[in-house]
Structure 1
Amino acid sequence: MEPFNRWTRVAIDVTRYVCERHMTEPDFEFYGFQAADELGYGPGSIYPVVRRLERAGWLISREERDNEPRETGRPPRTYYRVNPEHLQAIRQRVAELDARARKSASITRPVCNLNPVTEVGHVGGGER
């Protein structure tokens, strides 16, 4: 199941993050604030994406166990990891998104500015 109809920058970045981290460390687990911190997004941007990836079956979650160390007063974290059954779909989607990004980056728009503005209201190159 495809998690998104429209892939936002955050969705792309989170999916790429999950895929790349899994490829280098197959047992990699993360929690939302960790991904937010590493990717430079706020948790309010990350959590909806992670939840959609989980609902689509691309991620598996687990609650932090009572025997896992944590700071006093901090609620248990939800950890996420790649669902091995959907790894191929994740890798394929990341490859497609990367190809799309490369194609967009290769399209250059010619810039033609014969009379650059040098001051507010004044076009450069002539007398005032």
Structure 2
Amino acid sequence: MENLARVTPATALVLEALLSADSVWGLQIVKHVGKKPGTVYPILDRLEVAGWIQGEWGSTQDRKGPRRRYYRLLAEARPLAQDYVNTHRAKIRTSATRPSPATFEGKWQGA
């Protein structure tokens, strides 16, 4: 398993979705995360190449429609994934408590 070079907020959201289920298919992750497929699927590819997740195609005999690709977070990646998710949540809480630059606009403009 390789370390991730960078973990974006979107990556943390994908990891959170993977932590919440044993096996989840790609479009479920897209819906859970609220990002576009063009954002989520490259993240899944990077995680799979890095050895964090395992993906496998579902059987088309089980259902009608196109095959689904199911993703599973590997056991050895779970603790690191949880750390990334916790760090991401902490950053969100920290940025939510900081005043926005707009709060100081009037003060800086001599108001």
Please give the TM-score of this superposition, normalised by the length of structure 2: 0.76
Higher relative contact order (CA 8 A, sep 6+): 2
SS in 1 for 2:88: helix
Query: Displacement of 1:90 after TM fit?
Result: 0.6
Query: Displacement of 1:112 after TM fit?
Result: 4.6
- Identify unmatched segments of 5+ residues in structure 2: none
Q: Which residue of 1 aligns with 2:41?
A: 47
SS in 2 for 1:45: helix
Amino acid at match of 2:37: P
Q: Which has the larger radius of gyration?
A: 1
Query: 1:43, 1:31 → 2: CA distance?
Result: 12
Q: How does 1:89-104 map to 2 (within 5 A)?
A: 89-104=80-95
> What whole-Å deviation, never above 9, does each CA across 1:71-107 have from its counterpart, x for those lacking one?
1xx3322100110111111111111222222222222
How many aligned residue pairs are there? Answer: 104
Q: Which residue of 1 aligns with 2:16?
A: 16
Q: Which is richer in helix?
A: 2
- Confirm or deny that 1:31 pairs with 2:25: yes
- Say whether the 8 Å CA contact 1:31–1:79 is kept in structure 2: yes
Which sits farther off after the overlay, 46-55 or 93-102? Answer: 93-102
Q: For the aligned residues, what is the CA RMSD?
A: 2.1
- Confirm or deny that 1:113 pairs with 2:106: yes
Query: Displacement of 1:44 after TM fit?
Result: 1.5
Amino acid at match of 1:55: V
Which stretches of structure 1, 4 residues or longer, exceed 4 Å deviation after superposition?
Answer: none
Query: 2:48, 2:4 → 1: CA distance?
Result: 8
